[in-house]
Amino acid sequence: MGAATAALSRNAFGANEAANLTVIGLGGRGVDHINFLARVPGANIAAVCDVNQAAAERAQALVEKNSGRRPKAYADMRRVFEDKDIDAVTMATPNHWHALGTVWACQAGKDVYVEKPACHNVYEGGKMVEAARRYNRMVQVGSQSRSMAWRKQSIELLKSGVIGEIYTAKGMCFKRRKSIGKAPVEPVPAGINWDQFLGPAPMRPFTMNRFKYNWHWFWDTGNGDIGNQGVHELDFARWALGQTAPKAVVATGGKFAYDDDQETPNTQLATFDYGKQQLIFDVRGLPTPPEENVFIGDIIYGTEGYMAVDWSGFRIYKGEEKQKTQEVTVDAKDAYDTAPHFDNFVKAVKSRRREDLNAEIAEGVASANLAHLANISYRVGRRLQFDGKTFGADKAANALLTREYRKPYTL
C-alpha cells in the first residue's frame, strides 16, 4: 500500500518556476491552506484531495476562484503520490493520518507541509524523521509561530537574558469548548469514503462526532486539546526553554461537567521535568479566568522577571514590582497568519536546504511528543520517567507510545 514505487518529483526549479502542490484534507484547515497558499509566490495548487467528494469539489472551486486555474481532484492520497507532476503536498488531515501520509509522500519523492501536531503518537514521529532523512525531503510542521517575526523577536530577547535565567515555562490553553453531545450512529453519507477516513484507526460505526472536527476528542483520531490548540503553546514553551525531551512527566485532570461522546480530557495539568527547568501546561475547556491576561499562550519565568506571550503579542515585566518594561502588540489580521510559514516551506522546496525550514519535522515531533507524553501519563494515572525513547519497564505506558494499525494502513 506504500508509495515507494511512485515516480519521483522534480528536485530542481528554475528561478521563476512554481512548485506544484496538492492540499490533502479539505476541512476547515485545508480551506485555510488554500487561501494562505494563494498569497505565496511560487506556489501553484495543482490538485486537491479528500475522502469527501463534496469537500473536494468545493475546494476545486475555491482554488479556481483564487487563481483562475481549476486543479485536479483526488479521492485517495495514494493517487496524489503517483502523480509525477506534483512536487509537494500539504497535509491538513486528522491527526491519525499525519504520519502515514507524510511517510508515503517522502517515499514518493514529495516534500511535505504537515499540520500540527506532527504525529498521532511518539512512534510515528520517529518514523517521519527517518523518512525525511532517508528520502532527503523537506518536511515542515504547521507550527506557524516559528515564522512570525514578533515571536522570533521574543525568543531572541529571552536568549539575551532579558528576564534573567529561565527556570519555568508555563503554557495555557484556556479555550472554551462546549459539550459535543451524543451523536447517533448513522449510514455513511453519500460521497464519503469512511474506510479511508479512518485509515490506520480501528473501524468504527459512522457518527458525525467522529467525522466533523470533533474527531479531535477521540483517542483513535485525535489527541485532545493539548495536542490541538495546545501544541502551539507547548512548542513556544519548549522553544523558550531550549529543551527537547523531558526526564519525567506527570499529568492529571479529567473530562468534567459533560456527559457526551468526548473521550479526551477537557481539564488537564501536565508538568515536564527537565532537571534545572520545568515546563507546565494547563488545559481548561470550561469557563476559566486568564493568567496575566493570557487565555491561550505562555508565561516564561526568569530570575529577573517574566514574559507573557499570546496571539496579540508579548509583554515583559521586571523586578519585584512587576514593572512593564516592553510590549509588542500584533495587528489582529497578522495574529494567526500562516502565509509566511508556507512561504518559508516553498522556498525550502526550491533551495533543497533542510536548515532553511523554520519548523523542520524534528522540531515539530519534539513538541508533539510533549502532548503525547502528557496524555500517556494521564491515561495510566501516574508520574513517568522517560529516557528519551521509552518509560523503562512500564509496559502499560510503553504500549501507548504507538498504536495497533489497521491493515492495510500500516506504518
Residue 243 and residue 134 share a domain: no
CA 262 to mean position of chain CA atoms = 20
Residue 252 and residue 104 share a domain: no
Residue 231 and residue 161 share a domain: yes
pLDDT for 3 equals: 47
Predicted TM-score (pTM) of the model is 0.96
Under 8 Å between Cβ of 26 and 56: yes
What per-residue string of b and e applies to 98-133 under the rule 16 or more CB within 10 Å gives b? Answer: bbbbbbbbbbbbbbbbbbbbbbbbbbbbbbbbebbe
pLDDT for 14 equals: 67
Residue 331 and residue 294 share a domain: yes
Domain-located, residue 410: no
Percent helix, strand and coil across the chain, each to the nearest 5: 35, 20, 45
Residue 331 and residue 246 share a domain: yes
- In degrees and rounded to multiples of 5, residue 351 shows phi and psi of -80, -25
The angle at the Cα of 55, spanning 51 to 59, to the nearest 5 degrees, equals 120
Domain-located, residue 5: no
Q: Provide the strand spans (E) within 51-159.
A: 72-74, 88-91, 111-114, 139-141
Residue 245 and residue 229 share a domain: yes
Q: What is the dihedral of CA 191, 38, 98, 211, to 10 degrees?
A: -30
Judge residue 205's burial from the number of C-beta atoms within 10 Å of its C-beta, 0-12 exposed, 13-18 middle, 19 or more buried: exposed
pLDDT for 405 equals: 98
Rounded Cα distance, 324 and 319, in Å: 9
289 cis-preceded (ω within 30 degrees of 0): no
Angle separating helix axes 28-37 and 53-67, nearest 10 degrees: 20
Going by the DSSP 8-state scheme, the letter that residue 354 receives in this structure is: G
Q: Provide the strand spans (E) within 10-71.
A: 19-24, 43-49
Task: DSSP for 371-387, please give it.
Answer: HHHHHHHHHHTS-EE--
CATH of the domain at 296: 3.30.360.10
Residue 289 and residue 156 share a domain: yes
Q: Which three cell numbers stand for residue 350?
A: 526550491
**Alpha-carbon radius of gyration of the chain:** 21
Rounded Cα distance, 80 and 411, in Å: 18
Residue 353 and residue 324 share a domain: no
Under 8 Å between Cβ of 174 and 310: no
Residue 177 and residue 320 share a domain: yes
Q: Residue 101 belongs to what domain range? A: 19-145+338-359
pLDDT for 10 equals: 64
Domain-located, residue 85: yes
Domain-located, residue 30: yes
Closest C-alpha among 388, 396, 377, 121 to residue 269: 377
Residue 291 and residue 160 share a domain: yes
pLDDT along the chain (411 residues), means of 10: 49 79 98 98 97 98 97 98 98 98 98 98 98 98 97 98 98 98 98 98 98 97 98 98 98 98 98 98 98 98 98 96 96 90 98 97 98 98 98 98 97 89
Under 8 Å between Cβ of 69 and 4: no
Residue 176 and residue 123 share a domain: no
Count of structural domains within the chain:
2
Domain-located, residue 113: yes
CATH of the domain at 44: 3.40.50.720
Rounded Cα distance, 219 and 221, in Å: 6
Residue 379 and residue 253 share a domain: yes
